[in-house]
Amino acid sequence: MEILDKLTILADSAKYDASCSSSGSKRKNNTTGIGNGNFAGICHSWGADGRCISLLKILFSNSCIYDCKYCINRSSNSIKRATFTPQEVADLTINFYKRNYIEGLFLSSAVIRSPNYTMEMLIKTVLILRNEYNFNGYIHCKTIPGSDQSLIDKLGKLVDRMSINIELPSNNSLKLLAPQKEKANILQPMSYVSNNIKLNKLDKNKFKPNFVPAGQTTQLIIGATPESDLKILKLSEGLYNKLNLKRVYYSAYISVNNDKNLPMLSSPPLLRENRLYQADWLIRFYGFKANELLDETHPNFNNILDPKCEWALRNIENFPIEINTADYFTLLRVPGIGVISAKKIIRARRTFLLDFQELKKLGIVMKRAKYFITCKGKYYDKVYKFNQSFIETNLIYQERLSIPNKNFEQLSLFDNLSPTKEDTIKCLTGSL
């Protein structure tokens, strides 16, 4: 088979994985090598779906021995199958890298022959890159559930990031849709990797090999199974707190297979995915807890308002907030004020007290924030009533105005609809 055909088949099979980030690694180059890590990550292109392309994202093989119901590569599907050789993947990576198409490699694979055999193929590929080509660019590798710990260990010392996709957010769903995978097979290697990362950080030996320096990530499929947003968010929170995951990716389910256990969706639930990313962001950088954003009486997010607005309206007694005295984390809780804006405010008010005029000069967007703040004790001009229903009506009105064709599944209220945008850039632009 021609390399072009292989690439087309194996990129097509890999495209549903949301992760593409190349951030978090400071791997240095040496004088004879090629490539380095960029801590902030670099996006190289954007596909027609608006998702960033940063890594050569391919499967090593799509000839799977398993039959997970939701997956395009399941053994019972009749699709074109292909398998690379380690040398082919390494050559592609190096040649793409030299032309600056990519930041590195994201290699995943279906299970061929056995989990261990598959792992060995991945390791072989990475070994060629690191040792023969002296490649110091970014490598993200999937761990194959059910493979030996010694193999995980070996791979972990070579790559920058590792991931195991949980995919289905509960045990029941997993049993139903991925009967050959076991929860233990997924969570065990995850905690093993997480422990090793911790130990590696404690080890002060300068010459030790780094172990997964950019951390591990996972992915959850949204909308294939009945779990609520609350349940999903709690799972993510647990993964961040207990297993120290770098990222949890959410991937709106796309109907690729017909199965009685799967819903038939006409379009992927992109808005829901977007809401989860927004909430995930609030948990990781804004000090919110899953319990604050949702509870048993409100287990799912709102179509029109983003999670922070929704939270603020439900907790209106915490507002208004005085811009000139509120601390950093309180400022961050104001809808429309993000990390950058909060920092700007704190910096600027050191020299003098701020009013609305100055906030505008600082480039703070008032659209949402104006309902929740005061400057030197005064409300914003046109905000003459401070009560929940007034604010809610206005916010909803505004959001509707800003959506031209009322097509909620397509809209991008948050400019990071694409889950793949780099963390740091997100940090700079993502104001909620």
Measure the CA angle with vertex 421, ends 418 and 425; round to 5°: 135
45 binds another protein (CB under 8 A): yes
CB 136 to another protein: min, Å: 9
398 binds another protein (CB under 8 A): no
- Give whichever of 315 and 402 is closer to another protein, judged by the CB atom: 402
Q: What residues from 257 to 276 belong to the interface with another protein (CB under 8 A)?
A: 267-268, 270
Q: Which stretch binds another protein (CB under 8 A): 1-9, 179-187, 299-307, 366-374?
A: 1-9
CB 70 to ligand SF4: min, Å: 7
Q: Please tell me the number of Cα atoms within 13 Å of 401 on its side-chain side.
A: 7
Which of 63, 11, 129 has the alpha carbon at shortest distance from 3? 11
**Helices 307-314 and 388-401, packing angle to 10 deg:** 160
Which listed option, another protein, ligand SF4, none, makes contact with residue 50 (CB within 5 to 8 Å by class)?
A: another protein
Binding track, positions 129-148, relative to another protein; x by CB under 8 A? --------x-----------
417 binds another protein (CB under 8 A): yes
Measure the CA angle with vertex 377, ends 371 and 381; round to 5°: 45
CB 71 to ligand SF4: min, Å: 3
Q: What is the DSSP string of 26-68?
A: -PPP-TT-B----TT----EE-TTS-EE-EEEEESB---S---
Q: What residues from 203 to 242 belong to the interface with another protein (CB under 8 A)?
A: none
Which listed option, ligand SF4, another protein, none, makes contact with residue 64 (CB within 5 to 8 Å by class)?
A: ligand SF4
- Report helix, strand or coil for 295: strand
Q: What is the DSSP string of 101-115?
A: S-SEEEEE----S-H
The total of other beta-carbon atoms located within 10 Å of residue 26's CB is: 12
- Give whichever of 220 and 417 is closer to another protein, judged by the CB atom: 417
415 binds another protein (CB under 8 A): yes
Measure the CA angle with vertex 63, ends 62 and 67; round to 5°: 95
Q: What is the DSSP letter of 170?
A: S
Strands 52-53 and 45-46, sheet pairing: antiparallel
Task: List contacts with ligand SF4 (CB under 6 A).
Answer: 64, 66, 68, 71, 73-74, 110-111
109 binds another protein (CB under 8 A): no
Binding track, positions 281-320, relative to another protein; x by CB under 8 A? ----------------------------------------
Q: What is the DSSP string of 248-263?
A: EEEEE----S--TTS-
Place of tokens 């700079």: 428
CA 417 to CA 275: how far, in whole Å?
9
One of 19, 23, 38, 218 touching another protein (CB under 8 A): 38
One of 101, 133, 240, 386 touching another protein (CB under 8 A): 101
Under the rule (CB under 8 A), what is the footprint of another protein? Answer: 3-4, 7-8, 11-12, 14-16, 29, 31-36, 38, 40, 42-54, 56-58, 92, 95-96, 98-101, 103, 137, 252, 254, 267-268, 270, 344, 347-348, 350-351, 358, 361-362, 410, 412, 415, 417-418, 421, 425
